[in-house]
Structure 1
Amino acid sequence: MERIIESTVPGNFDGYRLDRYLAERFTYLSRSAWQREIGAGNISLNGSVVVNYHKRLKGGDFMSFTGRDIYEPEVDRDYALLYEDDDILAVNKPGNIPVHPSGRFFHNTLLMILQEDRGQSLFPVHRLDRETSGVILFAKNAETVSLLNRKSDSWEKIYLALVHGTVGEGPFMDNTPIGSDPRSHIQKRRAAYEGAPEEALTLFERISVFGKYSLVQATLRTGRQHQIRVHLLHQGYPIVGDKLYGLDERYYLEFIEKGYTPELLTKLGFPRSALHAWKLHFPHPRMGKIISVVAPLPRDMEEFIGGLEI
């Protein structure tokens, strides 16, 4: 099956080499794999085929990728139904599946699998990163999506994260603003620092300590991109398995260059970012009451904790 993937180059990628841009924007292929796609004539820039992966880009360039017989990586399809009524469906998302079609993933996404299994159209109400497990909400019609989003400020989202380090007793918080990381070579990486443009507030509390690791509860009071991951790193407790905000950002660069190798897994210690959307409380748009949905700690995180020498 052939699919055409199109992208307009954002201004912050101006001057990037074509292969580096593709590897950082579309991480489902490594940089070397994108070089092969370019050499095979599968990339067009502003309407013309490009075979030189050293080509420098300009902001506003229009790029298309002819994905011939695109191979979709296998995903964890073992989702569980947590809540359902006439308007809403809540699912426990596994930790290795995208929510909706993006990049290389189309059929192997939670949205497409749910729609196929249930024989009905569904609409994602919010997002979780591909590696994040836990509660994800879908609406059964577009009107319900709109009604839910109008009250999204009153939602309460509570997460669990396995982190490096021994977190002290008692609650703590981080209200440091978030923005693009000015010290990183990775365009998508964000950081918490004074003067950053986006106000952010996350409340934390230690649940348990397991030697040099801790299980932490994180409650969002704002909804910035990568907020929990950024604030935990800022507090000195990076999430286990996180390539972008973990112990060393070079792990992410290694992933971009070579893909997910056994050597990289050994360095990370866990095959995904150990972040789980644990609880979601939201006002039902028609029933007029608060709905609470809970997703138990996933098996992979339980097994990691169980395997620790405490």
Structure 2
Amino acid sequence: MKRKRGKGDMEIVWQTPANPPERHDYIFRNGKRHVRPYYFEFISHVKNRWAGKTIVDLFAQEFKGRPYDYYVSAVECGRIQVDGEMVPVSYVVKSSQKISHFLHRHEPPVMALDLSILHKESEVVTVCKPASVPVHPCGQYRKNTVVGILQAEHDLAPLFPVHRLDRLVSGLLIFARSAAKADLFRQQQVVNANVDYNAREGRSSAEEEKCPGDIHPKGKSACTKFTRISTNGTYSIVLCEPVTGRTHQVFLQ
């Protein structure tokens, strides 16, 4: 965590990814969970494919959420730095250099619904994720996430998602307490769904039965076991073992 003086000698605390969310970071108002605004230092290191680009071109090409003129201004005023130093807009980056982007963050609120811990062991934690809360830091969210809330309010860290649910979806989430355990879980996934094949259109759709007693999903039951054989961190080789034989089964699941 870095500290420096801002306007009027007010102390500004720059947070980095190393600073964990804390209980006092959250404010509850009108049924929503808010995060107190904070200053944040985004840190990345120059990849080999970035080397040789100017600092402004790098950001404009790789981080397209802001206009080119914003990055010019950010470099000129020091909100974007290289190895902790201000650089000109024409500066050409080199491999492995540290790049910092300083921002004042206002995270969007999420619904103030209970994040219930259903089961906790030394190697695994199962929780009930409420709708509107993302699973892990992404986009505009860092502290208003399942991982962030569990760390701030239950001192559960580190956590490794075995699977994910979309931000607007509620349901059960399984977290491993170590990367090795998460990898083991991911290699043992079995997917069950109903596959509805439309012969006339040559298309299939998949549907899961949500809860016992719900309207039975269309199509025929299909089951596939997926086992990850290897990964390079970006792509994986996966063994797909169909337990049943339905048209388009593996593609849909």
TM-score, with length taken from structure 2: 0.48
- Considering only CA atoms, is the larger Rg found in Structure 1 or Structure 2? 2
